[in-house]
A and B are shown apart, each in its own frame.
Chain A
Amino acid sequence: MSATAWAWLVLLFPLLGSIAIALGFRALPQKLAGVIGTASIGLAFACGVAALIGLLGEDPGARHHASSLWDYASVAGLDIKLGIYLDQLSLFMVLVVTGVSTLIHLYSYGYMQSDEGYHRFFSYLNFFVFSMLLLVLAGNFVLLIVGWAFVGFASYALISFWYRRETATRAGMKAFVINVVGDIGLVLAAFLIFRELGSFDYGTVFEKAPEVFSTNEWTVTAICLLLLVGAFAKSAQLPLHTWLPDAMEGPTPVSSLIHAATMVTAGVYLIARTHVLFALAPTAADISAFIGLATLLVAATIALVMTDLKRAIAYSTMSQIGYMVVGVSIGAYSAGMFHLMTHAFFKALLFMAAGSIIAAMANEQNIDRMSGFGKAMRFTSVTMLCGGLALAAFPLTSGFFSKDEILAYAGARGGMYLIFVVLGYFGAFLTAIYTFRLIFRVLQGEPCLEARELIETGHVHHAHPFNPATGEQEDTDVGFPGPEHHIAESSAPMRVAMAVLAFGALFGGLIQVPGVDNVVSDWLDPVFTGPVLAHVHPSIAWDWIGLAIGGAISLLGIWAAHWLYIADPEAPRRLETRFRGLHDFLFRKWYFDEAIDLLVVRPALAVGRFSNRVFERFVVDGLVSGTEGGVRGASGVVRAVQNGFVRSYALLLIAGFAGLALYFLLSSS
């Protein structure tokens, strides 16, 4: 079978899984639904590997195929096919997405076991994977937008999975609204592309773009800026990032899959896919890089003071995606995608470990109440440590190689881009600090109440179900989390998934060691031919120097965290009181939520109120009631003719006859 046929199968299996579980949710026993869900993604991964084998058998320059099933919309001037575009980049994303998704499905098989909405969960999760694969494999902008929108919906459905929690539903709506803002940007970009280039198809667009556009022409810059709006909304970059921390209301596997490994990387993929357009609009690429840098730093500073475990990891995700955005915006495409892959491994792993710890805490998420789980949960703490080391770019872990490759490329570009190097390393320093802040706070120290209970009795602490954000009491019926809490130690599927990811987090970087092997860049580089932003190849020496600096900074950061949280436990409190203003500013997330509320939400509500009170009442209602009144009046007049008097009918008859006769007399004279 050809590689594209395998690619179609990749799309088919998650869709079938989702439909099968959705239709059979009453009939299927719980375990079978989980098996179907996991197996469908596993099959998709297998088909992805088969497609990889197919592509490997071809010449590197010819490894791009477009394949379409049928015409989607074929009217005057418009020819959109239901088609996929399989090349190295999309296959890379397919493998990352399906690989990590399979493991997360396996994890959810154990984690969500006591939840009443188990079937719904797996159906939504499969649908999400299908949408993400559609987005990645799409061969034209229309299908990309379709996949984009589906992914947004799946995110909404999964964030508000526990739909009877008001915080969850509100978070889902917030995510969806901000995503729609991004969708607008993407759709407008697609319109502009069609207007200028006459096609939506990737092949045609990327071929014609260098001929039609000159560098930094305003149209191509506008297109790229609009694409950036879409990318930033999906990837939670400034200023459209406020939905990501709130999205942690969803179950932990959701946070792990969607908001760490896959959906939030869609923006990065988009920029990489449309690299031809960005190469023609370097200004837009630079804007994108600077916004990525800003997000990187802002998110890292907020993560330093976050007390909610999942939200801290979410800000870490935002920061790391900032790195990826910087990478693909300055021309380091392979490096950016490599960091995407390694980040998927260690971030998913961190979320899984966090899920295990939160389960042990009976749904409590505040790290101020957690301590000493290192002794209570060995497996979880070891895997959490693996993920944390990779995130902090500890030497020889996967994050070490991927993050520093981006910064080395920036350094090689020189000039203005050195600022990325400096601030990028500063961000890496902060990353190491906040990562190990979490690890030391949660895993080290005297075991807290729940940890002690786990050590002594071996049972997970049981508390009355409550909402971790507001503390209000809940029950465990459908729409709320289930009654039991599953930790990794007690669930084999969770352990298998976490172990595989821990292996990837630790050793996944070894496939792209500078000067030794270049698996990723060899695979991806043929995609990024044609116009590029810069023809830069960092020398291997500079690569290793950059790696050394990065390793040193990582160790420095870990030492700083150790000093703050273990050696001198009072230090954080002293710093907090001394820099009270700064701490509050960071704790309130740089007041972004408040700013958006003031600038966007309140005016929108005011417009809505105005529309209701004035426009709707007077103009619309007036028009409708006016028409109604007019019709009623007119019909009243007409009705008066039917008064029942035979003589008046006779009068009308004779009057009509007289009128007709008059007309004929006049017309014949």
Chain B
Amino acid sequence: MNIEWYIVLSALLFATGAMGILIRRSPMVILLCLELMLNAGNLALVAFSRMVGNGQGQIFAVIVMVVAACEVVVGLGLIVAIFRRRLPLNVDDLRELRG
């Protein structure tokens, strides 16, 4: 298969994830969309690794997975903390940092 297909699919998934962040308001779902974007990046990395012929892209993808896991852990911890404080779980309502 042409690698192109994989890259285009990755771009499509990335754009979908980006659109999701812009549309959804629940922090949970926004984190899920972030996962989408990360995975799209992973797909591109692995495709390039196959195209070039060495395993560097795959290593990169594994490290990305580790980072994604860390990010999820911290993000979900934030959500739990917000929920515990009885604040609304809505990014539009959490906007103290305004000009």
Interface residues of A (CB under 8 A from B): 639, 641-647, 650-651, 654
Contacts and interface: CB of A to CB of B under 8 A. Distances in A.
- Size bracket of the B interface: 10 to 19
Nearest to A640: B99
Interface residues of A: mostly helix, strand, loop or mixed? helix
Nearest to B21: A650
A651 B91 contact: no
Contacts of B97: 644
B15 to A, nearest CB: 9
Nearest to B97: A644
A106 to B, nearest CB: 75
A343 B97 CA distance: 84
B99 A647 contact: no
15 contacts: A639-B99, A642-B99, A643-B95, A643-B98, A644-B96, A644-B98, A645-B91, A645-B92, A646-B91, A646-B94, A647-B21, A647-B25, A647-B91, A650-B21, A654-B22
Contacts of B96: 644
A592 to B, nearest CB: 67
Contacts of B79: none
Contacts of B68: none
B18 interface: yes
Contacts of B91: 645-647
A642 B97 CA distance: 8
Contacts of A646: 91, 94-95
Interface string B79-99: 000000000000110111111
A645 B95 contact: yes
A54 B53 CA distance: 106
Interface in B1-59: 18, 21-22, 25
Given A645-B91, A645-B92, A646-B91, A651 B98 contact: no
Closest 3 CB pairs of A and B: A642-B99, A644-B95, A644-B98
A643 B25 CA distance: 15
Nearest to B24: A647
Contacts of A641: 99
B77 to A, nearest CB: 18
Nearest to A657: B18
A378 B34 CA distance: 113
Contacts of B92: 645, 647
A189 B23 CA distance: 78
A645 B94 CA distance: 8
Nearest to A654: B18
Contacts of B21: 647, 650
A644 B96 CA distance: 7
B22 to A, nearest CB: 5
A53 B16 CA distance: 106
Contacts of A643: 95, 98-99
A658 to B, nearest CB: 9
Contacts of B95: 643-646
Contacts of A642: 98-99
A644 B18 CA distance: 19
A643 B22 CA distance: 15
Nearest to B98: A644
Nearest to A646: B91
A647 B95 CA distance: 10
B48 to A, nearest CB: 19
A647 B25 CA distance: 8
A661 to B, nearest CB: 11
Contacts of B18: 654
B22 A651 contact: yes
B33 to A, nearest CB: 10
Given A639-B99, A644-B98, A645-B95, 16 more contacts: A642-B99, A643-B95, A643-B98, A643-B99, A644-B95, A644-B97, A644-B99, A645-B92, A646-B91, A646-B95, A647-B21, A647-B22, A647-B25, A647-B92, A650-B21, A651-B22
Contacts of B94: 646
A639 B99 CA distance: 6
A293 to B, nearest CB: 78
B11 to A, nearest CB: 11
A644 B22 CA distance: 14
Contacts of A644: 95-99
A650 B95 CA distance: 14
A652 to B, nearest CB: 10
A645 B18 CA distance: 16
A641 B18 CA distance: 20
Given A645-B91, A645-B92, A650 B98 contact: no
A625 to B, nearest CB: 24
B16 to A, nearest CB: 12
A188 to B, nearest CB: 56
B54 to A, nearest CB: 27
A641 B21 CA distance: 18
A639 B92 CA distance: 18
Nearest to A642: B99
B22 A650 contact: yes
A282 B22 CA distance: 91
